[in-house]
Amino acid sequence: MPRGLKSGPLAFVWTTTFRLALVYAVLFALFSAGMLAYFYTATVGAMRSETIVRLESELQTLAVAWNSGGPERLEQSLLERAFVRVRDFTYQFETGAGDIIIGDLPRMPVDTSTVLAEPQSVTFEIERARPGGDPNISTIEGRILRLGDGSILLVGIKMDERIMLVSRVTRAVATAAPIGIILALIGGYFSSRYAARRAEGLSRIAEAVMGGDLSQRADIGETGDEFDRLSERLNAMLTRLERLMASTRHAGEAIAHDLRSPLSRLRNRLEATMSLPLDKETAEDTLEQTIVEIDQLLATFNAILRLSRVNEASTAKFSMVNLSELAEEMAELFEPACEDSELSFSAQISPDIGICGDRALLAQAVSNILDNSIKYTPPGGEIALELSRGSDGLSIMVRDSGPGISVDDRDRVKQRFVRLDEARTQPGSGLGLALVDAVAELHHGKLVLGSSVQDDPGSGLLVTLKLP
């Protein structure tokens, strides 16, 4: 197992997804706490100060009543208030000695010994018995004041319902936050398990491929998520790789096969010559034939090398190539050869067509196509080279009046070393069109085989090198 990869039941902890979930959970917790703190101070704080203002003003009103009419007047005011049905305030008025003058409470709820002439804030709780239940406990916020004759006045107010509500909400959120965090972690766990499982699947494929099994493919889900896209790419890559491997293997076998017969022929001839009495003429004949055959073998090797060179070539070294000029020169180069083979040759080349590409390879491609046509077109036939620019790019076309290639064989002849039976009698490596195909691919173009007259394979071959 590669360094850094963990296994076992806690493996998910090391996945990116889980660590992200963890980070988000922590962030969520911090954010919730901050939000609660703000919410609490903003609402509860505001309400409390509003309550205190109301308390204060009530206390002052009563103090004014005492000032203007003494204890009697104050008592009168408190009595009046006692008849209001719905009221917020709780009152308690006692003498300095602690005797209740008038009040809502059975006794003073706070220690009065330290109460001064300036109003003070106090907080206390009162119990109200409820029928058939637990006593209702209310928190009371109060202001207390010692009046001029030493008596004590307390005004209290029950904590606002809204504050209670806020407290409840706060408590609810505070309870919910850990649940959220736990949910985040559970979500993180499952999504990281999913990610880990998919990644594990992909790395298993990679391992199998490293082990030499190219037939493995990654599963593709239906969601089309990034894992599915990655798997698709991986599968496409593997398919291409598999095809390349197969074609390399095929090429290797084909090379061996194609080279073995001329080599054994060569060997047999030399052996046969050796058994003869050697005169100068026989020796020269044999040597000459041998050299011709060896040259053909070398040509095949060169074609193989060239083909692999094209397959490995990059477009980095492309330069502007005047295709019209190249086609003209190819026409000029091949025209005598056509004439020599009793073929009439014509060229129709549009001027000023340029392409970014590899001049030598393009020339080789055109030359291979023309070579083919000359080889397979019987005497008296014709060959036409055409370069034109159409709406879908450039086309280099070579049309001949030879036997053509049947529709079924058209794809096959582009492969390496594929030679149709009809071609066995002609010298050749079976690499010509494979090279053209490779050159076309390198230039992002296409090699298309057709017939000189549409849908009539017997009318001759039409080879089109389509370039962008």
Partner 1 sequence: MHILVIEDDREHSEFIENVLTGAGHSVESVGQGDEGLLRARSKDFDALIVDRMLPEKSGLRMVQEFRSGGGVTPALFLSALSEVDHRVEGLEAGGDDYLAKPFAPAELIARVEALGRRHSQNETPVTILKVGDLEMDLLARKVVREDTIIDLQPREFKLLEFLMRHAGQTVTRTMLLEKVWNYHFDPQTNVIDVHISRLRSKIDKEFDRQLLQTVRGAGYCLEG
Residue numbers of the site for partner 1 (CB under 8 A)?
288, 291-292, 295, 298-299, 301-303, 305-306, 309, 313, 317, 329, 332-334, 336-337, 339-340, 358-361, 363-364, 367-368, 371, 374-375, 428, 432
Q: Please, which residue, 186 or 333, has the CB nearer to partner 1?
A: 333
Q: Please, which residue, 170 or 367, has the CB nearer to partner 1?
A: 367
**What is the distance between the alpha carbons of residues 120 and 110, in angstroms, rounded to a whole number?**
12
Least Å from the CB of residue 459 to partner 1: 23
Q: Please, which residue, 12 or 376, has the CB nearer to partner 1?
A: 376
Least Å from the CB of residue 443 to partner 1: 15
Pairing of strands 344-349, 382-390: parallel
Least Å from the CB of residue 289 to partner 1: 11
Least Å from the CB of residue 398 to partner 1: 14
Q: Please, which residue, 94 or 358, has the CB nearer to partner 1?
A: 358
**What is the distance between the alpha carbons of residues 160 and 46, in angstroms, rounded to a whole number?**
12
| CA 54 from centroid of its chain's CA atoms | 62
CB neighbours of residue 91 within 10 Å: 23
Q: Please, which residue, 108 or 362, has the CB nearer to partner 1?
A: 362
Q: Please, which residue, 48 or 306, has the CB nearer to partner 1?
A: 306
Least Å from the CB of residue 250 to partner 1: 22
Least Å from the CB of residue 205 to partner 1: 35
Q: Please, which residue, 81 or 375, has the CB nearer to partner 1?
A: 375
Q: Please, which residue, 340 or 421, has the CB nearer to partner 1?
A: 340
Q: Which residues are 137's β-sheet partners?
A: 127
Least Å from the CB of residue 216 to partner 1: 36
Q: Please, which residue, 205 or 447, has the CB nearer to partner 1?
A: 447
Q: Please, which residue, 234 or 361, has the CB nearer to partner 1?
A: 361
Least Å from the CB of residue 364 to partner 1: 4
3-state secondary structure the chain: CCCCCCCCCCHHHHCHHHHHHHHHHHHHHHHHHHHHHHHHHHHHHHHHHHHHHHHHHHHHHHHHHHHHHHHHHHHHHHHHHHCCCCCCEEEEEECCCCCEEEECCCCCCCCCCCCCCCCEEEEEEEEECCCCCCCEEEEEEEEEEECCCCCEEEEEEECCHHHHHHHHHHHHHHHHHHHHHHHHHHHHHHHHHHHHHHHHHHHHHHHHHHCCCCCCCCCCCCCCCHHHHHHHHHHHHHHHHHHHHHHHHHHHHHHHHHHHHHHHHHHHHHHHHHHCCCCHHHHHHHHHHHHHHHHHHHHHHHHHHHHHHHHHCCHHHCEEEEHHHHHHHHHHHHHHHHHHCCCEEEEEECCCCEEEECHHHHHHHHHHHHHHHHHHCCCCCEEEEEEEEECCEEEEEEEECCCCCCHHHCCHHHCCCCCCHHHCCCCCCCCHHHHHHHHHHHCCCEEEEEEEECCEEEEEEEEEEEEC
Q: Please, which residue, 44 or 323, has the CB nearer to partner 1?
A: 323
Pairing of strands 456-467, 393-400: antiparallel
Least Å from the CB of residue 402 to partner 1: 14
Least Å from the CB of residue 360 to partner 1: 4
Least Å from the CB of residue 232 to partner 1: 35
